[in-house]
Amino acid sequence: MIKVENLHKHFGGFRAVDGASLEISPGSITGLIGPNGAGKTTLFNVIAGVLGPTSGQVTMDGEDITGLPPHSLFEKGLLRTFQIAHEFHSMTCKENLMMVPSGQSGEALWNTWFGRKRIANEERALAAKADEVLEFLTIDHLKDHRAGQVSGGQKKLLELGRTMMVDANKIVFLDEVGAGVNRTLLNTIADAIQRLNEERGYTFVVIEHDMDFIGRLCDPVICMAEGKVLAQGTLDEIKANEQVIEAYLGTGLKNKSGT
């Protein structure tokens, strides 16, 4: 689905991504791990069009998408979740979902003159979709809560929910989805990812430090270090890989429980 070939992203003389090549198969939940500073987030940002690459190529289903802006990729169903912007904190969870551009015609000014009825219909459909998304994610009880007032884990679910508002064949990039999220909510997030994958055909690429989470969800797992892809395989294969062990020396490839 996604093919990354010899990708470089340099900041001045520093090679944050240094010739990374990898493939993401449709329907997979691929884990991306590696020590801090490995270049994982930078790689995501280049794939998702947030940063332009220094060199290299990214293709999606054979089409060259290198350097396309995020909104073009968004329309193609390549989605990277972002923290809910501060301006949206005072809006409710449901309103946050309804803000996601999904091709609704309400934005064009002339529509307000020529298409009132259509806009009303689309708005109703959008509201119904938002309700369905909230229910799927088991956070429908939060729909009228302000987004700024829900917990960190619930915000992550809402970020995931925003990707569900888009009509496209989806590949979703999640960066450190578990950071600062409690166990219970992390399980809810893992369940949602698994169900979106199994029931709705979503492809995921997940960066996460919690190896229990990666082990439960991801196959394959790709390990990066110093801007390069070191190894790819099941989590057990990755954990046994010499180069991976070496890359993690000093930081340790651990579960959160410390085992």
Ligand X SMILES: Nc1ncnc2c1ncn2[C@@H]1O[C@H](COP(=O)(O)OP(=O)(O)O)[C@@H](O)[C@H]1O
- Rounded Cα distance, 113 and 209, in Å: 51
The C-alpha R_g of the chain, in whole angstroms, comes to 19
Three-class secondary structure of residue 18 per DSSP: strand
Among 4, 29, 41, 60, binds Mg ion (CB under 5 A): 41
Q: Is 168 exposed, middle or buried (0-12, 13-18, 19+ CB in 10 A)?
A: middle
Closer to ligand X at the Cβ: 14 or 113?
14
Interface with ligand X, residue 26, by CB under 6 A: no
Interface of this chain with ligand X, residues 42 to 71, rule: CB under 6 A: 42
| Cβ closest to ligand X, residue 52 vs residue 201 | 52
CB of 84 to ligand X, least distance (A): 20
Q: CB-wise, 62 or 252, nearer to ligand X?
A: 252
Q: Rule CB under 6 A: is residue 40 a binding residue for ligand X?
A: yes
CA–CA distances in Å: residue 141 to residues 26, 27, 184: 33, 30, 17
Q: What is the largest CA-CA distance in the chain?
A: 66
Residue whose pair of structure tokens reads 């791990």 in the numeric block:
33
Is there binding between residue 37 and ligand X (CB under 6 A)?
yes
Q: Which residues pair with 221 in a beta bridge?
A: 31, 233
Instruction: Please identify, among the stretches 36-44, 74-82, 87-95, 108-116, the one whose residues bind ligand X according to the rule CB under 6 A.
Output: 36-44
Determine, following the binding rule CB under 6 A, whether residue 39 of this chain makes contact with ligand X: yes
Binding site for Mg ion (CB under 5 A): 41
Which residues contact ligand X (rule: CB under 6 A)? 11, 14, 16, 34, 36-42
